[in-house]
Structure 1
Amino acid sequence: MIIVIINTALAFHTESAVAMISGLSDRQSKTGKKTWFIHTSGTSSIADRPISKIYCESREFHDTDDIYTYELNRESYEAYKQRTTDLAVFQIGRALAVKTTIVKPPTIFGLGTGPINKLSIQIPGLIRRALQYGQAVVIGDGHGQWDHVHIEDLVRLFELVLIKVLNGGEDVPYGLKGLLFAETGRHTWLDISKAIGAAGVELGALKTDEVRSVPLAEAAAWVASGSEQVRELGFASNSRSKATLSRALGWEPKHETDWQTAVKVDFEAILNAEA
């Protein structure tokens, strides 16, 4: 028997991740049972900062790369809480002999089927800003590129990893190599904003499909405790990833074609919730 924790809570909360790994280590030493920690992060940890010019990069990352060393070097250059948590998972798991695997998805789209929250963060966040501005908005020129994955395809990856772990985890990467990407396609931030404008007009929620560019400082102020770093990395950066190991494990995404209607689906869900 193996004891597994899947952490799908806040990827920015280092302390809770460390606590869960420590708990697994304690259980392992007391019971003799093997343990495994599956942590949910995100690809903003490897994103650059093209608007502020603090860190610019054109690299495409594969989960066969040494992402641990890359994140370690990036963190020494500029700390970022989600990356800090990634590194803690890598390091504490290794120190306490708990196997850890980080799943690092990009933009998540599609409606979830759970009982509470059914929406992700990035696309719904930009839709809500469009409703406030009266038109779609983009930070800077919107040329930054990200990947995306449908929520059901992401769930399928977690299921695959969990099943393999429960069967011994022989093929699942862990430790300092324990990272999996989950991408099925690529977009720019301007692509999303244009789609928001088009969907908003079609649904009668916006009067124009024109996209307004806003500066980073203004976008950071969208929330009271706004951070230019968090806003740029999560909504205006470049973050290109390839799920090479995930596919080698047998992951077969099924919902890439749903990307074409992803923005409209989220827009309708938000309008229905606020009606």
Structure 2
Amino acid sequence: MTKLFIIGITGYVGGDTVYAFTQANPEWEITALVRCIDKGAVVAKEYPAIKLVYGDLDNSDLLANESSKVDIVLQLANADHIGSIQAILAGLQRSHTRDAPGYFIHMSGAASLFPASILRDPSQLGTLPADTHIYDDWDGRVDLYKFTPPNAYHKRADLAVTHAEQHVNGAVRCAIVSPPAIYGTGRGPCHRHSMIGPCRARVILTEGAGCLLGDGSNIWNVVHVSDVSVLLALLVEAAIQGGGKADWGHDAYYLCEAGEMTQRELVEPMAKEAARMGLIASPELKAITRERANEIMSFADVLMGSTSRGRSIRARERLGWVPKGRSWAEELPDLLEAVAREMGLWKGGV
């Protein structure tokens, strides 16, 4: 029986991933880390067969002990927690060998591909910086290590994972999955929406118009949450096969995207749908300042105005991954209704 330890089950991606796993592979034996009794009760009601352990990412002994009991660990909770990475690797190494390795799958994120100019000068948010680079995880995989800025988000943790095998004597094989702007309603027991979509919706509903930061030319890769779960499942299935066709170790950096959209392309259809639903009076677009955006929602300027561009070639070539989730436009009615309800603006829809 395949044994998994999953960290992040109450989160957006982690919750959707566990739903996908349990639907397709109910025979997998899953242990999940949760931080509190209240959320544990929600998970237990939805998934009574999942074993719950209580703690957080700073409980290194707990993480190491639980990791030592399983074949595969997925860290879907925090892209930057070095201590948890080290504890997981130590636990897997304790109970595995080069001939019978354990597997570690870590989720990074789109901020690792931000242009250096944005990190230096936030006033460029909302525009397409001149130093924008389109990364890929195949021929250009070296760029992900050498040419991302030294202070890039997630870089230290990414390197701790992809370079781990030289420190664990081959007893652990590692991979990173790095999604971009994730959208869509998740199927997990707790958090069912990302930050990207609700942020834009909250700004639009607060201001009563489609709001653009800068000229709206900045670009994000996008992917539906269900497609991220499919990629994670394909990697787990490869691990079960002793590695399968997947790459592990230094080359095992899997970008995860289904195309890209400018800020304007994200906002325009959202404003039109909000107007159609009667949530705002007009779909017209207007400018918004960084300061005003951040008054509405913390870090809204970064969520709206950043640029992160890449091509996920490795998942397609090695695993046959094909994104099939609903489009951004198809998800907008559900997203806008959910945010409107949270804001107390929902009066029934069309």
TM-score normalised per structure 1: 0.84
Distance in 1 (alpha carbons) for counterparts of 2:139 and 2:292: 35
CA offsets per residue over residues 113-134 of structure 1, 9 Å max, x none?
A: 1111111120111112222333
Which stretch of the first structure deviates more once superposed, 17-26 or 242-251? 17-26
Instruction: Give 1 or 2 for the bigger CA radius of gyration.
Output: 2
In the alignment, structure 1 residue 255 sits paired with structure 2 residue 322 = no
How many residues end up aligned between the 2 structures?
266
Three-state SS of the structure 1 residue aligned to 2:71 is strand
Distance in 1 (alpha carbons) for counterparts of 2:265 and 2:143: 32
52 and 177 in structure 1: CA distance in 2 versus 1, 3 angstrom threshold = farther
Deviation at 1:187, TM superposition (A): 0.7
CA offsets per residue over residues 167-217 of structure 1, 9 Å max, x none?
A: 111321221211112211221111112222112212222223223323345
Tell me which amino acid in the other structure corresponds to 1:245. R
Distance in 2 (alpha carbons) for counterparts of 1:70 and 1:212: 36
User: Of residues 86, 101, 109 in structure 2, which corresponds to 1:34?
Assistant: 101
Three-state SS of the structure 1 residue aligned to 2:194 is coil
184 and 74 in structure 1: CA distance in 2 versus 1, 3 angstrom threshold = closer
Deviation at 1:222, TM superposition (A): 5.1
TM-score normalised per structure 2: 0.67
User: Of residues 68, 77, 82 in structure 2, which corresponds to 1:9?
Assistant: 77
Between the two structures, name the one with larger relative contact order (CA 8 Å, sep ≥ 6): 1
Distance in 2 (alpha carbons) for counterparts of 1:57 and 1:40: 26
Distance in 2 (alpha carbons) for counterparts of 1:162 and 1:14: 22
Tell me which amino acid in the other structure corresponds to 1:241. G
**Is the CA contact 2:221–2:310 (under 8 Å) kept in the aligned structure 1?**
yes
In the alignment, structure 1 residue 210 sits paired with structure 2 residue 284 = yes
Deviation at 1:263, TM superposition (A): 2.6
**Residue equivalent to 1:47:** 114
270 and 217 in structure 1: CA distance in 2 versus 1, 3 angstrom threshold = closer
Deviation at 1:264, TM superposition (A): 2.7
Deviation at 1:159, TM superposition (A): 1.0
145 and 169 in structure 1: CA distance in 2 versus 1, 3 angstrom threshold = same
Distance in 1 (alpha carbons) for counterparts of 2:191 and 2:162: 29
Q: Percent identity at matched positions?
A: 24
User: Of residues 216, 231, 236 in structure 2, which corresponds to 1:162?
Assistant: 236
| RMSD value, Cα | 2.8
CA offsets per residue over residues 122-147 of structure 1, 9 Å max, x none?
A: 01111122223333323221101122
Which stretch of the first structure deviates more once superposed, 87-96 or 105-114? 87-96
Tell me which amino acid in the other structure corresponds to 1:16. S
Distance in 2 (alpha carbons) for counterparts of 1:80 and 1:223: 23
Three-state SS of the structure 2 residue aligned to 1:87 is helix
Distance in 2 (alpha carbons) for counterparts of 1:252 and 1:10: 26
**Is the CA contact 1:14–1:81 (under 8 Å) kept in the aligned structure 2?**
no
Tell me which amino acid in the other structure corresponds to 1:143. S
Segments of structure 1 that go 5 or more residues without pairing to the other structure are none
Deviation at 1:38, TM superposition (A): 0.5
Three-state SS of the structure 2 residue aligned to 1:74 is coil
In the alignment, structure 1 residue 24 sits paired with structure 2 residue 92 = yes
**Is the CA contact 1:147–1:184 (under 8 Å) kept in the aligned structure 2?**
yes
Distance in 2 (alpha carbons) for counterparts of 1:34 and 1:21: 11
Three-state SS of the structure 1 residue aligned to 2:112 is helix
Three-state SS of the structure 1 residue aligned to 2:96 is helix
52 and 198 in structure 1: CA distance in 2 versus 1, 3 angstrom threshold = same
Distance in 2 (alpha carbons) for counterparts of 1:211 and 1:93: 50
Distance in 2 (alpha carbons) for counterparts of 1:253 and 1:240: 17
**Residue equivalent to 1:192:** 266
19 and 113 in structure 1: CA distance in 2 versus 1, 3 angstrom threshold = same
Distance in 1 (alpha carbons) for counterparts of 2:156 and 2:89: 15
CA offsets per residue over residues 103-122 of structure 1, 9 Å max, x none?
A: 11111121111111111120
Deviation at 1:72, TM superposition (A): 4.3
Which stretch of the first structure deviates more once superposed, 80-89 or 174-183? 80-89
Three-state SS of the structure 2 residue aligned to 1:112 is coil
Deviation at 1:46, TM superposition (A): 1.0
Segments of structure 2 that go 5 or more residues without pairing to the other structure are 3-69, 345-350
User: Of residues 162, 187, 210 in structure 2, which corresponds to 1:90?
Assistant: 162
Distance in 1 (alpha carbons) for counterparts of 2:256 and 2:220: 12
Distance in 2 (alpha carbons) for counterparts of 1:46 and 1:92: 21
**Is the CA contact 1:149–1:184 (under 8 Å) kept in the aligned structure 2?**
yes
